[in-house]
């Protein structure tokens, strides 16, 4: 309880602490009144001896001394009320000098007793007022007792009682009023100082304007924003600091004056003293001021960083991050606008589609950083090859597009040839395989596209492949007025042929045996896809890349998985330990429909998932390592195994071997085909096998076409061998009769 009381006393000031000390400015009026009283007594006629008046004048000396002594102290002390106490003898002497002729009752100087009482009511404590009450009573009582009648009548006791009442009753009320006024003044001053600090120290700019938009006052942040001192801005229109050519601030002020009571927000630009433009946000309202009428308070926030960030986001939404060119989204919008223009005004302009030849070799041999730098350089070459009104975009990978809105056929030919020449010239400065980098360009005018009634982008794509098939490093132009389409247009027919093959089961699966080198038995096989058309058996090299480009590869992979698992069920009846390897395209990795096909096929045919090995080429896995790993993790939970195909073909082979979930490493044939003759290839083979074994993975050597190659693979510890020496891809029946002589069973159809 004592501790709580102590805190309360410290927090709530006493009456004395709540009053101010007497200042010279406050003392001057009291001194003037005292001197007036003294001068008044000195005026004739004189009723008392001169020495009384002189003594009254001398009594002011200790009053002044006591006051000055109290002012020298920094804190309140007993000297503070002493000057007021010493005024009572002064008042008593003047009272006696003025009223000597007719007794104290006739004295007009009694009013001087108000001086010390008022002083203590303003500056003193309640206890000091009580002392003043006693002194006031003594001022009347002492003459009555000491002199007595007739000079002082007993009736002067009434006056003593009245003045005591004034001191004890009215003076404390006055003191409370003064104290409250002091507190209110202090609070108002504190509040005003707080507002001033908030205004001056606000982290954002604040400007006060008159109704004409002229600056009355600004804070430091606003002045710093424009690079001036606050006084230099006063009197100027706020719009004078806006970026030249804009009038948003003037419009903002006008709308603000017509929308009193509302807070309006706007954005504009201001120019600082250095000539730099800042993006700012204005938040303004009209406030009332007693002395100045209506004032416009404008909060100004520098949003330059936010504006740059938003502009950056907008830029990223429409531009390629690597090259800074327009991206596919932006290009599609520009192309659509141009097509709308062609529909209104007739076909005009041309479209170029460019693809870098042998770009994959740069990534695989020199690394993706070098490949990225090459793309950036090519982007710069393309920018310098076109006009500012043309549009160049990176559509993805190493594919670029150029929209020439006003070019005719000859102009399109010239620009395309210039691009090919500049890419070829730049490639000669590169080291290694970079020297073989070139560009194939397909050029189509919008007039030619309208004549063929076909999509201009599709025609440009097909024409570009005409350039590639013609030997690359050149331009293929679709001529106007020629009814024949691009030679590559035949590829469009493949889409319908692939769709028909899926619908009517025209695909076939062939099996290539894989030998286990630990026992020389054929314990597994790889499934290879073929397309049957009449009497022709079409290899996958002729249609798989088309299926990938038109988005049909996931459906093809789903078909392969379903029929492969059905075939695997039949093979495991002949050999319960038999395993089957099935290739998946990079376009199918992570596709829910393909994953569901795997699950459904394993469930329908009741096949042990461990017998199914899914092959993914290293280049497909490289496309998105995180996606490939997540896909492998989900399918591995089913019990399936994974093989990393064509290992060693990519630049980051060992990195991907570390970070991807694979059970088998299929060594790329590039390192196997000449391993019996090349010491370098053998060293690489030995390194791959050693690392794979240390990581707990098994190895499969592809392209084993010679007995000596097989012998080297055994010596270096390869686990499995695959190639023409082991066996060529053959249909199911031939595979069973040749490699599984224990029985011949035709696989059941998949429904």
Domains defined along the chain, listed by start: 9-184 (no CATH), 202-308 (3.30.450.20), 319-481 (3.30.70.270), 502-739 (3.20.20.450)
CA distance 614 to 247: 67
Q: pLDDT class for 162, splitting at 50, 70, 90? A: confident
Evaluate whether 353 touches 461 at the Cβ level (below 8 Å): yes
pLDDT tens across 283-338, in order?
Answer: 888 887 666 678 888 999 888 888 787 777 777 778 888 888 988 888 999 999 99
Q: pLDDT class for 150, splitting at 50, 70, 90? A: low
Task: Give the start-end residues of each E strand in 449-550.
Answer: 475-478, 507-516, 521-533, 536-538
Q: Which stretch, 51-60, 64-73, 383-392, 638-647, has highest mean pLDDT?
A: 383-392
If we measure between CA atoms, which residue out of 437, 344, 441 comes closest to residue 392?
441
pLDDT tens across 85-98, in order?
Answer: 888 787 777 766 54
User: What is the pLDDT of the chain when averaged over all its residues?
Assistant: 81
Percentage of the chain surpassing pLDDT 70? 83
> For residue 118, is pLDDT > 50?
yes
Query: Which carries the bigger pLDDT value, residue 632 or residue 623?
Result: 632
> For residue 489, is pLDDT > 70?
no
Q: pLDDT class for 432, splitting at 50, 70, 90? A: low
In the numeric block, the tokens 């059905």 are attached to 566
Q: What integer is the mean pLDDT of 713-736?
A: 94
pLDDT tens across 460-481, in order?
Answer: 888 888 888 777 889 988 888 7
Query: Which carries the bigger pLDDT value, residue 3 or residue 192?
Result: 192
Least trusted range by pLDDT, from 254-263, 328-337, 510-519 = 254-263
pLDDT given at position 354: 92
pLDDT given at position 61: 82
Q: What integer is the mean pLDDT of 167-184?
A: 78
pLDDT given at position 351: 94
Q: What integer is the mean pLDDT of 517-521?
A: 93
pLDDT given at position 467: 85
Q: Residue 228: exposed, middle, or buried by beta-carbon count in 10 A (0-12, 13-18, 19+)?
A: middle
Main-chain dihedrals φ then ψ at residue 591, nearest 5 degrees? -75, 125
Task: Give the start-end residues of each E strand in 479-535.
Answer: 507-516, 521-533
Q: What integer is the mean pLDDT of 240-254?
A: 86
Tokens of 271: 């120019």
Helix, strand or coil, per DSSP, at residue 543: coil
What sign does the dihedral 123-127-129-135 (CA atoms) show? negative
Residue 546, preceding peptide bond in cis (omega within 30° of 0): no
Least trusted range by pLDDT, from 253-262, 536-545, 742-751 = 742-751
Pairing of strands 612-617, 293-302: unpaired
Least trusted range by pLDDT, from 42-56, 360-374, 407-421 = 42-56
Dihedral-angle region of residue 665 (phi above 0 means left; psi in -120 to 50 means alpha; beta otherwise): beta
The overall pTM is greater than 0.75:
no
Q: What integer is the mean pLDDT of 124-150?
A: 74
Query: Which carries the bigger pLDDT value, residue 59 or residue 443?
Result: 443
Count of other CB atoms within 10 angstroms of residue 608: 15
How would you label 546-582 residue by residue, b for 16+ Cβ within 10 Å and e otherwise?
Answer: bbbeeebbbbbbbbbbbbbbbbbbbbbeebeebbbbb
Q: pLDDT class for 20, splitting at 50, 70, 90? A: low
pLDDT given at position 193: 78
Measure CA 4 to chain center.
Answer: 50
Q: pLDDT class for 721, splitting at 50, 70, 90? A: very high
Q: What integer is the mean pLDDT of 167-175?
A: 76
> For residue 743, is pLDDT > 50?
no
Pairing of strands 664-667, 507-516: unpaired
CA distance 456 to 480: 13
pLDDT given at position 662: 82
How would you label 395-431 residue by residue, b for 16+ Cβ within 10 Å and e otherwise?
Answer: beebbbbbbbbebebeebbebbebbbebbeebbeebe
Q: Which stretch, 18-32, 573-587, 636-650, has highest mean pLDDT?
A: 573-587
Q: What integer is the mean pLDDT of 46-55?
A: 67
pLDDT given at position 47: 58
pLDDT tens across 521-554, in order?
Answer: 999 999 999 998 877 888 887 778 778 777 888 9
How would you label 256-283 residue by residue, b for 16+ Cβ within 10 Å and e otherwise?
Answer: beeeeeeebebebbbbeeeeeebbbbbe
């Amino acid at each position: 309880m004592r501790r709580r009381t102590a805190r309360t006393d410290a927090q709530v000031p006493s009456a004395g602490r709540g009053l101010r000390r007497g200042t010279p400015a406050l003392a001057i009026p009291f001194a003037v009144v005292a001197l007036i009283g003294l001068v008044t007594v000195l005026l004739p006629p004189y009723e008392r001896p001169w020495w009384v008046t002189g003594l009254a004048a001398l009594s002011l000396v200790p009053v002044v001394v006591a006051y000055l002594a109290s002012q020298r102290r920094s804190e309140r002390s007993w000297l503070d009320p002493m000057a007021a106490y010493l005024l009572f003898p002064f008042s008593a002497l003047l009272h006696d000098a003025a009223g000597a002729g007719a007794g104290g009752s006739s004295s007009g100087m009694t009013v001087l007793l108000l001086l010390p009482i008022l002083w203590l009511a303003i500056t003193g404590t309640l206890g000091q007022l009580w002392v003043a009450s006693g002194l006031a009573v003594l001022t009347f009582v002492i003459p009555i007792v000491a002199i007595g009648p007739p000079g002082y009548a007993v009736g002067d006791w009434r006056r003593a009682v009245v003045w005591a009442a004034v001191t004890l009753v009215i003076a404390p009320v006055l003191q409370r009023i003064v104290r409250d006024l002091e507190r209110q003044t202090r609070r108002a001053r504190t509040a005003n100082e707080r507002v001033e600090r908030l205004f001056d120290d606000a982290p954002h700019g604040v400007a006060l304007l008159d109704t004409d938009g002229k600056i009355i006052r600004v804070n430091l942040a606003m002045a710093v924003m424009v690079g001036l001192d606050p006084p230099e801005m006063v009197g100027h229109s706020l719009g004078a600091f806006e970026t030249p050519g804009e009038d948003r601030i003037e419009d903002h002020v006008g709308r603000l004056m017509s929308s009193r009571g509302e807070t309006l927000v706007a954005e504009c630009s201001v120019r600082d003293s250095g000539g730099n433009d800042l993006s700012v946000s204005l938040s303004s309202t009209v406030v009332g001021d007693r002395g100045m009428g209506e004032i416009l308070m404008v909060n100004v926030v520098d949003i330059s960083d936010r504006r740059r960030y938003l502009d950056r986001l907008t830029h990223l939404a429409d531009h390629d991050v690597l090259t800074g060119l327009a991206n596919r989204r932006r290009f599609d919008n520009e192309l659509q606008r141009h097509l709308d223009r062609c529909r209104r005004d007739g076909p005009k302009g041309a479209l170029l589609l460019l693809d870098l030849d042998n770009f994959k070799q740069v990534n695989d041999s020199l690394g993706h950083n070098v490949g990225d730098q090459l793309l950036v350089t090519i982007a710069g070459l393309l920018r310098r090859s076109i006009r500012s009104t043309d549009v160049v975009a990176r559509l993805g990978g190493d594919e670029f597009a150029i929209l020439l809105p006003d070019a005719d056929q000859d102009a399109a030919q010239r620009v395309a040839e210039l691009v090919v020449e500049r890419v070829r010239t730049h490639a000669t400065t590169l080291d290694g395989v970079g020297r073989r980098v070139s560009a194939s360009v397909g050029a189509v005018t919008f007039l030619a596209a309208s004549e063929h009634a076909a999509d201009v982008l599709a025609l440009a794509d097909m024409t570009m492949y005409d350039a590639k098939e013609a030997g690359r490093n050149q331009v293929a132009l679709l001529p106007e007025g020629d009814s024949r389409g691009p030679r590559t247009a035949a590829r469009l027919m493949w889409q319908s042929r692939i769709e028909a093959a899926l619908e009517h089961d025209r695909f076939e699966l062939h099996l290539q045996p894989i030998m286990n080198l630990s026992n020389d038995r054929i314990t597994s096989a790889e499934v290879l896809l073929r397309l049957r058309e009449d009497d022709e058996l079409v290899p996958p090299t002729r249609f798989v890349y088309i299926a990938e480009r038109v988005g049909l590869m996931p459906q093809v992979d789903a078909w392969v998985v379903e029929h492969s698992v059905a075939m695997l069920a039949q093979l495991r009846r002949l050999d319960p330990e038999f395993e089957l390897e099935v290739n998946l395209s990079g376009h199918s990795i992570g596709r829910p429909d393909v994953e569901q096909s795997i699950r459904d096929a394993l469930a329908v045919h009741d096949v042990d998932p461990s017998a199914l090995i899914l092959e993914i080429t290293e280049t497909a896995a490289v496309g998105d390592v995180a996606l490939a790993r997540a896909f492998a993790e989900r399918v591995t939970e089913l019990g399936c195994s994974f093989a990393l195909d064509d290992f060693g073909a990519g630049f980051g082979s060992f990195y991907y071997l570390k970070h991807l979930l694979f059970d088998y490493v299929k060594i790329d044939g590039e390192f196997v085909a000449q391993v019996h003759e090349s010491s370098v290839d053998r060293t690489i083979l030995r390194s791959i096998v050693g690392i794979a074994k240390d990581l707990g993975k098994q190895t499969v050597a592809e392209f084993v076409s010679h007995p000596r190659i097989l012998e080297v693979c055994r010596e270096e510890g390869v686990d499995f061998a695959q190639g023409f020496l082991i066996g060529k891809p053959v249909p199911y029946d031939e595979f069973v009769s040749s490699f599984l002589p224990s029985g011949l069973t035709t696989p059941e159809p998949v429904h």
